[in-house]
Amino acid sequence: AEPIQTVMRRYNIEKPYEKLKDLTRGKAMTPELIRNFLETLEIPEEARAELQALTPDNYIGNAVAQAKNI
């Protein structure tokens, strides 16, 4: 959910944390659930496509920077 929240903030979508919390709390996350949520966002198609391409295997966030600070 982190990259989705970041993009939502970039495009000034109100209450990104709360919207994602409502989406994810107590639910099993599936690619279809995420895809459907992304379709509701008023963001450019390019940003939506980048988010849809992310997976737990290819998104590491700022892990590299954090590791360097250890």
CATH assignment of the domain containing 29 = 1.10.40.30
Say yes or no to pLDDT of 62 above 90: no
The DSSP H or E segment spanning 69 is: none
Supply the Cα-derived Rg of the chain in whole angstroms. Answer: 13
In this predicted structure, which of 12-16, 24-28, 35-39, 48-52 has the lowest mean pLDDT? 24-28
pLDDT at position 60 is: 76
State how far the Cα of 22 lies from the Cα of 2, in Å rounded to an integer.
14
* Threshold 0.85, pTM exceeds: no
pLDDT at position 4 is: 95
**Domain of 62, in residue numbers:** 2-68
State how far the Cα of 44 lies from the Cα of 11, in Å rounded to an integer.
9
Q: How many domains does the chain have?
A: 1
